[in-house]
């Protein structure tokens, strides 16, 4: 990494050195196409099989329930559209339930499905960012074919009570005498949270390797056996005919190793990040007393600080921080070009004046106390300049 002080690990993480070493053979000499039959190709296939077994062990599932993809967005699209269209073909219904604070990959997939006659219900969240449990039962009906709720929010870091949500969905499905698959976007959680699918109580789960020290362009979709699914990518018979296309062998190998490293070290990661996160948050509150933390203070990822500064402008603050050599975010990295008010914050009833002045600082075990000290040295002046610029009428 260059001299930039990096506070945007929720957007992406650097490739772990061990992951890079594991990938290199499949970027060089071991370049075979796994679909062929000769030895070079079969070496690649064996690498994929080994990676699949590793991921399955970490997820607590069977290897044939693991599908390798190009990343979180594809995994989410495949899960939501694949289950929805399969259910539609079976005439099982046309209603999908999700939350109001999902990543755009979920929300836009649901919006796309509306063109095909699906009805989307968005569950509300409280000011703490948690899905309101009381809304689950009333949202599910005899036409519900899928529920998708994220494990942890990418902007405010709030962790949803997945086991309780799963239990409520199962009870309602049993009452309705129907199958209601439960999908979760777990893209932000793999560094700090268990991704055991039975503990989470899910039928489908999406991961993106570059969020936990793996390569960009690689991801995982877990799909429980028996879950209705219609492949969204046609071509060859790869991934048991569920995701056509020549496999990204190096990416798959890197994904498996990165997930293994992340899951084996998640307790130490959580403890170290939480200590740094709390130091950062207390420092911000001491230096800028009217700053406001967004999201539940306890049920949140250990590396996430999402704070609002009323009367300021996130775009200006990010530019000033960048000039000072500090990289941060206004929320989702997928929405940085527009910097529209966060749909997550608005769904949490954060006033617009606060929402547009919100920054997300996300850290990792690579973050140091000196990094935090430098940010706390610069941030008050950045907020003051932003507020002054926002209050100055345009000429």
Average pLDDT over residues 183-192: 98
Pick the CATH number of 5-13+266-391 from 1.10.10.60, 3.90.1150.10, 1.10.569.10, 3.40.50.2300: 3.90.1150.10
- CA angle, 196 then 199 then 200, to 5°: 85
Pairing relation of β-strands 304-308 and 292-293? Answer: antiparallel
CB 47 within 8 A of CB 81: no
Q: Residue ranges of the domains in the chain?
A: 5-13+266-391, 17-264
Q: Strands across the sheet with 358-362, in order? A: 292-293, 304-308, 358-362
d(CA 252, CA 25): 13
Q: Kindly tell me the burial class for residue 29, based on how many C-beta atoms sit within 10 Å of its own C-beta (0-12, 13-18, 19 or more).
A: exposed
**Which position among 61, 110, 273, 334 bears the catalytic label?**
334
d(CA 53, CA 191): 20
d(CA 243, CA 235): 8
Torsion on CA atoms 315, 317, 322, 326, rounded to nearest 10: -130
Q: 17-264 in CATH: which number? A: 3.40.640.10
pLDDT at 281: 98
CA atoms within 13 A on the CB side of 283: 20
Helices (H), 117-209: 134-139, 162-176, 197-200
Residue 339 has pLDDT above 60, yes or no: no
CB 184 within 8 A of CB 198: no
Tokens encoding 142: 């005899």
d(CA 316, CA 20): 36
Model confidence over 55-71: pLDDT tens digits?
Answer: 999 999 999 999 999 99
Tokens encoding 188: 């932000």
Query: How much of the chain, in percent, has pLDDT values that exceed 90?
Result: 93
Average pLDDT over residues 115-138: 95
Measured in whole angstroms, the distance separating CA 105 from the mean position of its chain's CA atoms is 10
Q: Check if 273 is active-site.
A: no
Q: Tell me which H or E stretch contains 360.
A: strand 358-362
Confidence of residue 333 (pLDDT cuts 50, 70, 90): very low
Q: Map residue 293 onto helix, strand or coil.
A: strand
Confidence of residue 394 (pLDDT cuts 50, 70, 90): low
Torsion on CA atoms 147, 185, 108, 246, rounded to nearest 10: -110
Phi, psi of 342 (to 5 degrees): -60, 125
Residue written as tokens 């599932």?
A: 61
d(CA 124, CA 131): 6
CB 44 within 8 A of CB 76: no
Confidence of residue 137 (pLDDT cuts 50, 70, 90): confident
d(CA 145, CA 230): 13
Confidence of residue 334 (pLDDT cuts 50, 70, 90): very low
Average pLDDT over residues 212-229: 98
């Amino acid at each position: 990494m260059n001299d930039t002080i990096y506070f945007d690990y929720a957007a992406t993480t650097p490739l772990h050195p061990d992951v890079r070493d594991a990938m290199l053979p499949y970027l060089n000499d071991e370049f075979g196409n796994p679909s062929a039959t000769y030895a070079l190709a079969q070496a690649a296939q064996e690498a994929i099989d080994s990676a699949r077994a590793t991921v399955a062990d970490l997820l607590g599932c069977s290897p044939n329930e693991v599908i390798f993809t190009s990343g979180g967005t594809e995994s989410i699209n495949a899960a939501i559209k694949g289950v929805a269209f399969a259910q539609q073909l079976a005439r099982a219904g046309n209603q999908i339930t999700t939350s109001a604070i999902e990543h755009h990959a979920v929300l836009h997939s649901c919006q796309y499905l509306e063109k095909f006659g699906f009805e989307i219900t968005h569950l509300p969240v409280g000011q703490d960012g948690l899905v309101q449990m009381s809304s689950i039962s009333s949202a599910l009906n005899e036409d519900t074919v899928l529920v998708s709720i994220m494990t942890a929010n990418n902007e405010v870091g709030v962790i949803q009570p997945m086991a309780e949500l799963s239990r409520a969905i199962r009870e309602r499905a049993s009452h309705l005498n129907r199958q209601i698959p439960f999908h979760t976007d777990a893209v932000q959680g793999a560094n700090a949270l268990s991704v055991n699918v039975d503990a989470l109580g899910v039928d489908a789960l999406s991961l993106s390797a570059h969020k936990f020290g793996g390569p960009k362009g690689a991801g995982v979709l877990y799909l429980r056996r028996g879950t209705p699914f219609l492949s969204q990518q046609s071509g060859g018979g790869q991934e048991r005919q569920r995701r056509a296309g020549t496999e990204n062998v190096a990416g798959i190998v890197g994904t498996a190793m990165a997930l293994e490293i992340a899951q084996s070290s998640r307790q130490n990661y959580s403890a170290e990040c939480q200590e740094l996160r709390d130091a950062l948050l207390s420092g911000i509150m001491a230096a800028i007393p009217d700053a406001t933390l967004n999201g539940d203070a306890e049920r949140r990822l250990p590396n996430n600080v999402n704070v609002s500064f009323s009367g300021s402008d996130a775009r200006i603050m990010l530019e000033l921080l960048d000039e000072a050599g500090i990289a941060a975010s206004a929320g989702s990295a997928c929405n940085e070009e527009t910097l529209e008010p966060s749909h997550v914050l608005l769904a949490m009833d954060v006033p617009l004046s606060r929402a547009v002045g919100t920054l997300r600082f996300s850290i990792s075990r690579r973050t140091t106390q000196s990094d935090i000290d430098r940010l706390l040295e610069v941030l008050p002046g950045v907020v003051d300049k932003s507020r002054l610029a926002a209050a100055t009428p345009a000429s």
